[in-house]
Amino acid sequence: MIVLGIETSCDETGVALYCSARGLLGHQLYSQVEMHAEYGGVVPELASRDHVRKLLPLLESLLSQCELTRADIEGVAYTAGPGLVGALLVGASVGRSIAWSLGVPAVGVHHMEGHLLAPMLEAEQPAFPFLALLVSGGHSQLFEVDGVGRYKLLGETLDDAAGEAFDKTAKLLGLGYPGGPVLAQCAERGDPTRFRFPRPMTDRPGLDFSFSGLKTFALNTAQKNGIDTQTQADISRSFQDAVVDTFAIKCRRALRQTGIPRLVMAGGVSANKALRARLAELAEEEGAQIFYPRTEFCTDNGAMIAYAGCQRLMAGEHEPAAIGATPRWPMDELSAV
């Protein structure tokens, strides 16, 4: 089955073709980062309009790349939520319309399920069950995964997600947009011993996270010491180290509590080199395996939507001939496959 995947949940337009027998056939991605950088963050209306401009040309380019036509598409998967409602409706409208015109089934995919299953696009795939750490601009969650759609939430952020905290801290330090990659790059020049940031909620039982306090700690540190170039780097390093250590402590706790020796990390923040290195060390220490998607599939992309949608379409799921989006969509509402 050849499935078209469409991702338009926020500020990246992604399309992909996935074949149940041959794997990923191809994918294309357009990022709106340059456009939103002028405003220091995503402008929802501009994001929606840009998806309208870019989505169909990207699809035509993808079909040409894969030497296929629309008639070869046997199913359509589109991100139905969570995300920006206007942006979601662009992908849902195009995806549902293509499916209707071709007479093929369509399915709305949960954006975070796409991230969670992104490592399945790699040659080495995790076996079920596994633990999944989802870290992005809007989510920081830890799940026990027993199969597609079988997710048990073990812990989540009680305030800011890690990616959001990265962006806000980068902004207060004057590092620009997008904050996460810029702060991580700046941290490479930082002195890890100059400042000591707290490791939130690691001195109590449980697997929940909290990152808003780190943002406040960074602000207070900057106000006390000023923000010259070296101080920017030192604060960035200490902030990043605190986030990385917090995730490592909670993941170690989850591995020991569940006895599951496989850990997946996915989402935009999973591209962070320091976090990848620390969790790789943790996995080796705990005798566990760790799995990541390749860097290009850490951020939003159509390939993860095509894969997740293919699993659900092959299980017989499909949407009625209506166009809809779910900007807020808990993963525990998903059906098991």
Q: What is the four-CA torsion angle of 278, 279, 280, 282, rounded to 10 degrees?
A: 90
Give binding residues for substrate as ranges: 134-138, 167, 180, 272
The count of other CB atoms within 10 Å of the CB of residue 252 is 17
Q: Where is the binding site for Fe cation, in residues?
A: 111, 115, 300
How many residues make up the chain in this entry? 337
Secondary structure in 3-state letters for the chain:
CEEEEEECCCCEEEEEEEECCCEEEEEEEEECHHHHHCCCCCCHHHHHHHHHHHHHHHHHHHHHHHCCCHHHCCEEEEEEECCCHHHHHHHHHHHHHHHHHHCCCEEEEEHHHHHHHHHHHCCCCCCCCEEEEEECCCCEEEEEEEECCEEEEEEEECCCCHHHHHHHHHHHCCCCCCHHHHHHHHHCCCCCCCCCCCCCCCCCCCCCECCHHHHHHHHHHHHHHCCCHHHHHHHHHHHHHHHHHHHHHHHHHHHHHHCCCEEEEECHHHHCHHHHHHHHHHHHHHCCEEECCCHHHCCCCHHHHHHHHHHHHHCCCCCCCCCCCCCCCCHHHCCCC
Cβ(259)–Cβ(127) below 8 Å: no
Query: Residues annotated as binding site?
Result: 111, 115, 134-138, 167, 180, 272, 300
